[in-house]
Amino acid sequence: MSFKHTFTLVCTFFLCSNIYSQYENSFFDNDKYERTIDSSHIVFHFDNLSYFRNVEYLSPIDKGSTYIGFNLLPYVQYSFNEKAQIYGGFNLRYDFGNPEIRSIEPYFKFTFDDVLAHNIVFGSLNGTLQHKMIEPLYDYEKAITDRFEQGVQITKPGKFLSYDAWIDWHDMIYENDPKNERFVAGYNVYLNPINTEKNKISLNAQGITVHSAGEIDVNSKPNSVEYNFAYGLEYTHFFNEHTNLFLSGHAAFYEDRSDDKVNGIIDGVGQLGVLRLTHKDYQFVLNYWDSHQYQGPWGEQLYHSIGNKNWPYAQDYRKMLGVRVGYEVTIGKNLVFLNRLGFNYNVHPNKLDVTMENYLRWHFSKKPKKVSLY
């Protein structure tokens, strides 16, 4: 069979099955502008992420939200050697219309690269959207609301096999605390049997666990453990350096193994895929979501059967169609503007959701200077 016929068959398969789309999100990568520096050198960084994200949801699951503000992240980087780097600073989030700072937290990260072909991160992880999870498993809004996970992360880069595994210790407790401790563990594995200049085929497996428990707290809520996992096939055709077509299909699953079910749902399933055309600074995507009693405790609520708008009543079957367009432009050195617009149509009931997004990211760094710690 010729490549032309094979390509046509692959496209037909995805277009005739359930199609779901999400953007390529490297704009939000936490280490997007970080580079290894020479040993015994130090460099100052300043990262700013400004956001104006407004979602108008008429569907019965999610109430929607509006975020207008910015994240400021000043920090320093010190290099022990070409493999070991340490970062320290703080992350501040401020939302317009609020006289108080929304949050301020320390930023600490230690990275150790190329350890038996693996990279290790301890502290503030290269996480959120950088995990490249599908949106039903990982909430898109966390790039704003929960930008940095904290824990341990192991990644393996590679042409034929790559993966990301991490644990995020999200809520710490002490004796007699009124809440449960909570941690999130996840993985995302890619096997690429074909990875050439023109074509890439990937087999993908990803999963996430959200566990809430505690033995020293005084919280009356029972322990809980919820799982999401997904399996999929991805295909990319590179027409040239400026244009590519990306397609993928996933089956996503939910299981609640808690003694007392968190939302009264034992398990659920969803079908999804991706059809995305990237041309220069533009992304064009089509979406479809089809599910039965699907929940994602760390995923975007729009895909749930039970959300903050209809709780505790479930809408067992979900079907959604949509279209999105994104435009990313470099204004100056390490100064990038991102605009996105999305329309999401809920088949049952007949409702339309609209998402409007504007982001501005600026990263500044001084020239590295050699310092002596002795």
Residue type, 269: V
Q: With contact defined as beta carbons under 8 Å apart, do 267 and 293 qualify?
A: yes
Is residue 30 over pLDDT 80?
Answer: yes
For residue 152, what are the CA distances in angstroms to 21, 126, 155, 256?
29, 10, 10, 25
Report the pLDDT value the prediction gives residue 186, as an integer from 0 to 100: 98
What proportion of the chain, given as a percentage, has pLDDT over 90? Answer: 86
E-strand stretches of 294-350 = 317-332, 335-346
Distance CA 200, CA 204 (A): 13
Dmax (CA) for the chain in angstroms is: 68
Query: Which tens digit of pLDDT belongs to each residue from 74-88?
Result: 999 999 999 999 999
Distance CA 356, CA 327 (A): 12
Closest CA to 299 of 93, 131, 69: 131
Question: Averaged over 344-357, what is the pLDDT?
Answer: 94
Question: Averaged over 248-266, what is the pLDDT?
Answer: 95
Closest CA to 323 of 341, 305, 297: 341
- Alpha helix stretches (DSSP H) within the chain: 3-16, 142-145
Q: What is the pTM of this model?
A: 0.90
For residue 5, what are the CA distances in angstroms to 1, 2, 78, 244?
6, 5, 53, 18
Give the pair of three-digit tokens for residue 362.
């600026």
DSSP assignment string, 98-148: -SS-SEEEEEEEEEEEEETTEEEEEEE-S-GGGG---TTTS-TTHHHHS--
Is residue 2 over pLDDT 70?
Answer: no
Distance CA 71, CA 55 (A): 20
Q: Which residues contact 215 (CB under 8 A, 6 or more apart)?
A: none
SS3 content of the chain, % helix, strand, coil (to 5): 5, 55, 35
Radius of gyration of the chain (CA): 21
The distance of Cα 354 from the centroid of its chain, to the nearest Å, equals 20
Query: Which tens digit of pLDDT belongs to each residue from 114-154?
Result: 999 999 999 999 999 999 999 999 998 999 999 999 999 99
The CATH classification number of 3-370 equals 2.40.160
Q: How confident is the model at residue 95 (pLDDT cuts 50, 70, 90)?
A: very high
DSSP assignment string, 180-236: -EEEEEEEEEEEEEEE-SSEEEEEEEEEEEEEEE-SS----SPPEEEEEEEEEEEEE
Query: Which tens digit of pLDDT belongs to each residue from 11-24?
Result: 443 333 333 347 88
Closest CA to 231 of 258, 279, 176, 269: 269
Query: Which tens digit of pLDDT belongs to each residue from 217-255?
Result: 888 788 999 999 999 999 999 999 999 999 999 999 999
Report the pLDDT value the prediction gives residue 189, as an integer from 0 to 100: 98
Query: Which tens digit of pLDDT belongs to each residue from 288-328?
Result: 999 999 999 999 999 999 999 999 999 999 999 989 999 99
Q: With contact defined as beta carbons under 8 Å apart, do 161 and 191 qualify?
A: yes
Measure the CA angle with vertex 272, ends 250 and 26; round to 5°: 80
